[in-house]
Amino acid sequence: MDLGAGDGRFAVATAVSRPDTLSVAIDAHPQAMADASRRSRRQKLANLLLVGARAEELPSELDGLAEVVTIHFPWGSLLAGVLKVDEIGGVPAGLARITRPGSHVKAVLSITERERALGLPLLDRSLEGRLATR
């Protein structure tokens, strides 16, 4: 599953390279999902599911399905939610619901001055450790 999939490039590439595996692209923005849909149709992918949903409100149909969840350079509410590792609900709860026991969440993060202006924490060693254990 690719959370915050944007235009679906990563999910489409994954579906193309692994035709025997179901890939899921999730994004809250309708235009991004429309772009992902066009990419998927061009490739005639039967193994790619597109889901329009916020990370805080993932559909229950996804519960326990993910072996791997990827999050690439999230921004806005998804980035803020990923960094709230000590929060009971929100993004961490959604990730816990959709992942299987023993699964992996791989997040590639970048916090620029723009995000710092929103009050997001620096990526320091203590946050890195807390993210890695969730």
Give the domain ranges of the chain.
2-132
How buried is residue 111: exposed, middle or buried, by Cβ count under 10 Å (0-12/13-18/19+)?
Answer: middle
β-pair partners for 52: 27
Taking alpha carbons only, the member of 25, 17, 12, 104 closest to residue 66 is: 104
Q: Mind listing the pLDDT tens digit for each residue in 96-116?
A: 899 999 998 888 877 777 666
Least confidently predicted of 14-23, 32-41, 86-95, 100-109: 86-95
How does pLDDT run across 112-130, given as a tens digit for each residue?
Answer: 776 666 666 665 555 555 5
State whether the Cα torsion 36-32-52-122 is positive or negative: positive
pLDDT at 100: 93
What distance in Å separates the CA atoms of residue 31 and residue 61, rounded to the nearest whole number? Answer: 23
pTM of the complete model beyond 0.75: yes
Cα dihedral value 107, 98, 131, 29, nearest 10: 50
Take residue 90 and report the two structure tokens written for it.
């929100």
AA identity, residue 66: A
Q: Which one, of 91, 83, 92, lies nearest residue 121 by Cα?
A: 83
Question: What's the topology of domain 2-132?
Answer: Rossmann fold (3.40.50)
Name the 3-class secondary structure at 103: strand
